[in-house]
A and B are shown apart, each in its own frame.
Chain A
């Protein structure tokens, strides 16, 4: 299993490096804002800067996890394009091992993103002089499970669909649906703002999901487990059919 996971790591490492660079970039930006706030002329605009810092970390950890999901996609696409799967079928590597390695890699990537996000959150909340709230961890953890389900889904789709374009279309469809469901409410909120009021993205998202707030975390966890098990079973069945 170690070699197969290592192979996925090599294929995805550029994408991963981009994700970490993205995190690092926003971390530096957030720090500059914080330094400006403490030392510079912006010290008077505390409210605006607090909001800005919070929005920056939100912008940072979500794309971080999203990049991880994208890199899962890259590894499965590469396998198809270069004939790696066909090569594996000519060896004694079975379907279970192929899918198992792929899913373990997904979990390892997502967990790394999750740990980094949590560390960022801790550092920035402590730097702000506040204490981390349980709700923040709950959101990130829920986000972790949701993206994990998403990456399992990508693995499954890439195994089922013979054409890369089909998977792309489905992914774009899902992303568009999510955006379309959030955008109208966000636009309404922005139109209702007055003067130099600002939107706190975290508060906004919390408000939007307030109905499902209480069961967001357990729901996301259950979804990840169900998705993981069903994708594994289904992928193994599909791979057994091979080129028939």
Chain B
């Protein structure tokens, strides 16, 4: 089947007691890595569970590989790998035994690829997973995820809690995986520096709503941080502001259109910003001003 977007989510809604995933829409283009950013409880895991059919949606459509995720569940899951922050394998088994078990779970299980990843990650084959460190457990999950020809990797907070060395190693593996244009990655994380390094597109979610979903470079390039004095801040049009951080000396103001702001407020300094700052200012947009 021919498709442009590996994942297409339209008007997806799921209501819980106290939380609503509210009519969200976004795409993961084929051959790309999308960073799914949001603070804890924003709705990232709920969205992923809905994609994987672990939860039933209230309304909306989810298409993966161009197919409906409920009607073609098995065909889709045949080509998906999901990695969570917790190791789903029993702690009393080892890598050799896992390979045997997963050869039954996945029809296209490639033992040689799995063993190659084990060697590359220096993971022991006869040591029980209970004795593995957090980093080793995550590497093991990724080794398993990449060893059965999956076309979409779904990572839910998979790099959280790992040291920078391990995280970098894993990000390199992702970039290698994307060398094949048919592969895509949805990487849910609140570690924005990782996404800044490897993501092609980013989707911000907050309180169950998508705040923005676009190219990463475009996002970082378009947004800007105005650093000004308090009296200068008062002159800035409120409709241009996402939110503003007030300091003892003045204010830092996030704007969504840096070029337009540069023309409009030519006397002010407008700095480039980062995904982390963008996330921070968007999350506090309802407050308007914060310290």
Contacts and interface: CB of A to CB of B under 8 A. Distances in A.
Interface string B65-109: 000000000110110111010111111110001001111111100
A178 interface: no
Contact of A243 (B55, B84, B91, B102): B55
B54 A3 contact: no
B56 interface: yes
A83 B101 contact: no
Number of contact residues on A: which range applies?
20 to 34
Interface stretch (A90-98, A122-130, A208-216): A90-98
Nearest to A12: B92
A99 to B, nearest CB: 15
Contacts of B56: 244
A217 to B, nearest CB: 36
Contacts of A79: 90
A19 to B, nearest CB: 17
Interface in A84-134: 84, 86-94
A242 B55 contact: yes
B55 A83 contact: no
A82 B55 contact: no
Contacts of B74: 92, 94
Interface of A: 1-4, 6-7, 10-11, 14, 78-79, 82-84, 86-94, 242-244
28 contacts: A3-B100, A3-B104, A6-B101, A7-B90, A7-B93, A7-B97, A7-B101, A10-B90, A10-B97, A11-B93, A14-B92, A79-B90, A82-B88, A83-B86, A83-B87, A84-B90, A87-B82, A89-B52, A89-B53, A90-B52, A90-B54, A90-B77, A90-B82, A91-B77, A92-B78, A93-B105, A243-B49, A243-B55
